[in-house]
Amino acid sequence: MTIAPEVPHTVITDPAQVQAVLAEKFPGAITPDTRPGYSGFIVSSDKLVEVATTLRDELGYTYLSSVTGVDYIHDGFMEVVYHAYRIEGGPAVVFKARCPRDNAVLPSLVPVWPGADFQEREAWDLLGIRFAGHPNLRRILLWEGFHGHPLRKDWKEAYYEQEGKPFDSRWPEGHVFRAEEKTPFGDNVAYPPDWMPPDDLDRLTQVSAYGGVYDAVLQTVDEDTRGLKTDHIVVNLGPQHPSTHGVFRVVVTLSGETIVDLQPVMGYLHRNHEKIGERNTFIMNIPYTDRLDYICSMSNNLGYVLAVEKLMGIKPPERAEYIRVLMVELTRIVNHLWAIGFLLNDLGAFFTPALYAIEERELILDVFEATAGSRMMCNYMRFGGVARDLPAGVYERCRELAFERLPRAIDELDNYLTHNEIILSRCKGVGYLPPEMAIAYSAAGPVLRASGVPYDVRRAEPYSIYDRFDFDVAVRYNGDVYDRYLIRVDEMRQSVRILQQVLDQMPKSGEIIAGKPQYQVRVPPGEAYGRVENPKGELGFYVVSNGKPNPWRYHIRAPSFINLTAMSEMCKGHKVADVVVILGSIDIVLGETDR
Amino acid sequence: MYGLGIIRGLGVTLKHFVESYIEDIRWFGRKYTRSDILPVRQGPKGKGIFTVQYPEERLPIPEQFRFIPFLLYEDETKQIRCTSCGICAKVCPPQCIWIVRGTDPRTGRPKPEPEEFYIDVDICMNCGFCAEFCPFDAIKMDHDFELATYDRTTTNIFDLQRLLKPVSYYASIRPTDYAREEAARAEKEGAKAKRPAAEPAAAPAAAPAQAAPAATTPPPSAGTPTGRGLSPEEIARRKAEMEARRRAREAARRAGEGGGEQA
């Protein structure tokens, strides 16, 4: 792996200028993307790695946020879209590379940005784009016995009914049926033609049946100074294990108790959220985003509506903006309380700290329930505003929380845990991630900031009305589990600060949605990448519209998914018990990891 | 000193432990017997024991809480508010609403009333879009969340009978929403009433439109109204109709499958 060298580089923050510089350096390789509603430029695939290296080393675009593919079936090509950022802040450089659909091969950018690892695997898995030179190009969300690449536009799911919702069978002749009856379980599975399901023990023990999960971890023999040979053993943690925060599996190679290599295995909760999203109309996706990171549904909503609002070119009214920030910052506190509580669970402090944290969380969920109608599946944001105004009493309740209860609760939690010697000895120096690696691996959120990189989307590229508030970007410098705990406490304090300002500045009344609420929105053709600083990291929505009621492409840059790229680095050299703690400190939610 | 941090932490635990007793003494047992104390127990000023012993104790449900839609009918006239326009079925993200649009048996033309209305509550994701975008305030989200059944394959598709609830029930669970909607409706009616005077030309066109829903209203039955607000005869008739339709559909499906096998 190569890491961006620390050399002073030309500071160009304007993407158009970046494009000009690159066009000069690589004549003929850069074509501007002139489709209406699109931005960025198209790089010819043979020059892709060089262009990327120049971007990283000479122009300082060290942080690759998102990699995804789009299937333009009518034009006969696949397109891979990259969003790269400067870690000092500023807008994205969007560049694309194209390949034919029937022979979709592009050079891998993992050597340039290791953070592309999982994202390229995902693009291979779901879109069938091969990345030449990728060190470990296997399926990631689906299993080896899956037939086809589901995000290709000509792939149809087992319960396929129609290209897009609403389905014609529902109205006006809505004769009810249960999908299960139409396609019974067992008849809805297709295997690849050359693949046999592992149905007996003999085949189960064959490594190939797992499609190389075990090939990816080192299986070597150690020899110590006295010539004593010891085998490495491979251990599966999960998928059914309470420490993995859901159905998540970690394959570790151990030398004694020490971790030599580690591979996260995910996809047990995969439902192809993106395919569902492409069948849905634009508004239908809002409640689906609740189910990504179900702890922070409010901020998921915000990320998606921001992306679509960019396409539609609308802005929410003043009061709606304040309500949005209010809800999103409450969500951040909810998430960090949850994360800290369950980190302590992972450390073995069974549930007392978690329940103290959950008590405060409950009070915030009461606010969500009173406002949005649901404690977790909020479905509260709409294009151009929010669904409904704050009911009577909620504002006062928020004031009580933000000015009295939450500051005290955070102090108490701090007092309770921060100096605990057991926590110190279990967390300090464990799971170290150096800053340059954190950037290279596209880590985001608390994981990135605990490694000493003060990168926060709210500051780096302010969205909504975050430029109005006075807050500090929390940063810690040791990059270990303890700092990832501390940074969450810091961030909760900053969120309380923002909340207090929101509640003081918020207009007492006013419109909460721009225009009339509509169930069918017209979204002009084009692409948009909306990103927000979710509690777990940078959450991005890449939405492509072709002017139809359903999005052509709907991609999610999921922070809990991409933060796992660095997990292997963090765990090497530590003990098995530390894996659980390190995973807890990354703070993943499988609903978002697996999508 | 090593261990000081642990002791400090244990101090917090001790505080929580002692607080629960202090609170209990302060409320003198009433904390667990009076239902109106629950907001204190689980409020921003709550201390001590936080949990609520469901199902013996229940937290008050906020008005905006939403769970599974239901259909509204007027208490007096038994008129179903739904006009089978299909917006709820079109906006539903998991597509769990099926509507058969009503047709007038004499003319064969569509009439503003649903023939059948199904919601598959297994699929419903409680997003509330149907209630949000219904232009007739005919479908609303319920507060009844205790829907556990033994058999999901037969009981979880709610039909029209299961979905209908009176407007008075809606007014009881969502009083402010109800008041707001009634005010808006009254305003609209007022505007409509005024219009014929101002624009006499528009009056003839408006009048039949207003009369049409009234004509299709089933006459208030003499029979005893049931909990759902329809007379037993009416329910029996509709059930028989639905059963007949279901049989016909199944027969058609079987025929279709058989044909498929032969082909």
Contact B64 A369 (CB under 8 A): yes
Distance CA A160, CA A138 (A): 26
Q: For residue A451, what pLDDT is reported?
A: 92
Residue B246 predicted with pLDDT over 80: no
CB atoms within 10 A of CB A391: 15
- Read off the DSSP letter of residue A160: -
Q: How would residue B130 be classed by pLDDT, with cut points 50, 70 and 90?
A: very high
The domain boundary residue, chosen from B173, B197, B218: B173
User: How many helices (DSSP H) and strands (DSSP E) are in chain A?
Assistant: 21, 19
* CA separation, residue B258 to residues B254, B262, B263 (Å): 6, 6, 9
A473: amino acid identity, one letter:
V
Question: Which A positions 26-65 lie with beta carbon below 8 A of chain B?
Answer: none
Token pair of A74, please?
A: 């009518």
Number of structural domains chain B divides into: 2
Spell out the residues 6+ positions from residue B159 whose beta carbon is closer than 8 angstroms to its own.
B116, B117, B118, B242
**pTM to 2 decimal places:** 0.85
* For testing contact with chain B, the best of A162, A163, A168, A171 (most B CBs within 10 A): A171
Q: Classify the phi-psi angles of A480: left when phi > 0, otherwise alpha if psi is within -120 to 50, otherwise beta.
A: beta
Distance CA B119, CA B160 (A): 9
The verdict on B34 and B110 lying in the same domain is: no
Distance CA B32, CA B46 (A): 13
Question: Of A69, A73, A131, which Cα lies nearest the Cα of A102?
Answer: A73
Rounded to 5 degrees, what are φ and ψ at A377?
-90, 75
Q: How would residue B258 be classed by pLDDT, with cut points 50, 70 and 90?
A: very low
Strand partners, B46: none
Distance CA B47, CA A327 (A): 24
The verdict on B94 and B136 lying in the same domain is: yes
Spell out the residues 6+ positions from residue A559 whose beta carbon is closer than 8 angstroms to its own.
A444, A445, A534, A536, A537, A538, A539, A592
For residue A381, the chain B residues in CB contact (below 8 A) are none
The verdict on B159 and B107 lying in the same domain is: yes
Q: Is A370 on the interface with B (CB under 8 A)?
A: yes
Question: Of A410, A400, A418, which Cα lies nearest the Cα of A343?
Answer: A418
Question: Of B91, B144, B155, B150, which Cα lies nearest the Cα of B118?
Answer: B155
Per residue in A37-68, pLDDT (tens digit) is 888 899 988 889 989 998 888 888 889 999 99
The verdict on B80 and B32 lying in the same domain is: no
Range of the domain at B28: 7-59
- Edge-first strand order for the sheet with B67-73 is B139-142, B67-73, B164-166
Q: For residue A176, what pLDDT is reported?
A: 85
Q: For residue B197, what pLDDT is reported?
A: 54
The domain boundary residue, chosen from B119, B152, B173: B173
> Which CATH number goes with the domain that contains B110?
3.30.70.3270
Scan for tokens 């769990």, then name that residue.
B96
* For testing contact with chain B, the best of A167, A422, A519 (most B CBs within 10 A): A519
Contact A176 B6 (CB under 8 A): no
The verdict on B48 and B80 lying in the same domain is: no
Out of B50, B65, B97, the one facing A170 most closely (by C-beta) is: B97
Per residue in B73-121, pLDDT (tens digit) is 988 888 888 888 889 999 999 999 999 888 888 888 888 888 888 998 8
For residue A412, the chain B residues in CB contact (below 8 A) are 12
Contact A166 B92 (CB under 8 A): yes
The verdict on B55 and B100 lying in the same domain is: no
Residue B252 lies in a domain: no
For residue A363, the chain B residues in CB contact (below 8 A) are 42-44
For residue B92, the chain A residues in CB contact (below 8 A) are 166, 170, 284
Question: Which A positions 508-537 lie with beta carbon below 8 A of chain B?
Answer: 517, 519-520
Indicate the helix (H) or strand (E) that contains A417: helix A406-417
Residue B208 predicted with pLDDT over 60: no
Cis bond before residue B200 (omega within 30° of 0) = no
Q: What is the mean pLDDT of chain A?
A: 87
* CA separation, residue A181 to residues A188, A496, B153, B160 (Å): 11, 51, 10, 22
- Read off the DSSP letter of residue B223: S
Burial A84-98 (b: 16+ CB within 10 A, else e): bbbbeebebbbbbbb
The verdict on B19 and B74 lying in the same domain is: no
Residue B241 lies in a domain: no
Contact A283 B65 (CB under 8 A): no
Distance CA A274, CA A550 (A): 12
Contact B8 A363 (CB under 8 A): no
For residue B16, the chain A residues in CB contact (below 8 A) are 356
Scan for tokens 């179900």, then name that residue.
A294
- Read off the DSSP letter of residue A112: T
Residue B260 lies in a domain: no
Q: For residue B218, what pLDDT is reported?
A: 42
Measured in angstroms, the CA of A413 and the nearest CA of chain B are apart by 9
Which residue stretches of chain A have pLDDT < 50? Answer: 201, 204, 207-210
Q: For residue A212, what pLDDT is reported?
A: 64
**pLDDT cut 70: percent of chain B above it:** 76
The DSSP string of A337-362 is HHHHHHHHHHHT--SHHHHHHHHHHH
The three-state secondary structure class of A176 is: coil
Residue B200 predicted with pLDDT over 80: no
CB A377 within 8 A of CB A481: no
Q: For residue B261, what pLDDT is reported?
A: 40
The verdict on B74 and B162 lying in the same domain is: yes
* Beta strand A41-43 pairing with A30-32: antiparallel
The verdict on B53 and B97 lying in the same domain is: no
Residue B79 lies in a domain: yes
* CA separation, residue A398 to residues A218, A371, A373 (Å): 52, 11, 16
Residue B23 lies in a domain: yes
For residue B100, the chain A residues in CB contact (below 8 A) are 172-175
Out of B43, B50, B249, the one facing A175 most closely (by C-beta) is: B249
Scan for tokens 């939450």, then name that residue.
A406
Q: Is A421 on the interface with B (CB under 8 A)?
A: yes
Residue B184 lies in a domain: no
Distance CA A535, CA A194 (A): 43
* CA separation, residue B187 to residues A510, B179, B182, B190, B192 (Å): 21, 12, 8, 5, 9
Measured in angstroms, the CA of A360 and the nearest CA of chain B are apart by 9
Q: How many Cβ pairs within 8 Å bridge chains A and B? A: 149
Residue B122 lies in a domain: yes
The verdict on B42 and B81 lying in the same domain is: no
CB A569 within 8 A of CB A432: no
* For testing contact with chain A, the best of B64, B92, B111, B173 (most A CBs within 10 A): B64
Q: How would residue B226 be classed by pLDDT, with cut points 50, 70 and 90?
A: very low
The verdict on B52 and B96 lying in the same domain is: no
- ipTM for this prediction: 0.81
The domain boundary residue, chosen from B117, B140, B173: B173
CB B12 within 8 A of CB B3: no
Q: Is A497 on the interface with B (CB under 8 A)?
A: no
The verdict on B17 and B90 lying in the same domain is: no
Q: Which residue of A has its CA nearest to B9?
A: A416
Distance CA A299, CA A364 (A): 14
Question: Which A positions 453-472 lie with beta carbon below 8 A of chain B?
Answer: none
Q: For residue A1, what pLDDT is reported?
A: 53
The DSSP string of B141-199 is EE-------S-HHHHSEE-HHHHEEEHHHHHHH-HHHHHHHHHHHHHHHHHHHHHHHH-
Spell out the residues 6+ positions from residue A327 whose beta carbon is closer than 8 angstroms to its own.
A298, A302, A368, A371, A372, A378, A380, A386
Name the more confident of A224 and B232. Answer: A224
For residue B99, the chain A residues in CB contact (below 8 A) are 170-172, 174
Contact A169 B50 (CB under 8 A): no
Residue B32 lies in a domain: yes
Contact B5 A287 (CB under 8 A): no
Q: Which of A55-69, A82-96, B19-33, B229-243 has the lowest mean pLDDT?
A: B229-243
Token pair of B180, please?
A: 């707001």
**pLDDT cut 70: percent of chain A above it:** 94
* Beta strand A229-231 pairing with A130-132: unpaired
Question: Of A528, A395, A524, A547, which Cα lies nearest the Cα of A463?
Answer: A528
The CA-CA-CA angle for residues A186, A191, A194, to 5°, reads 145
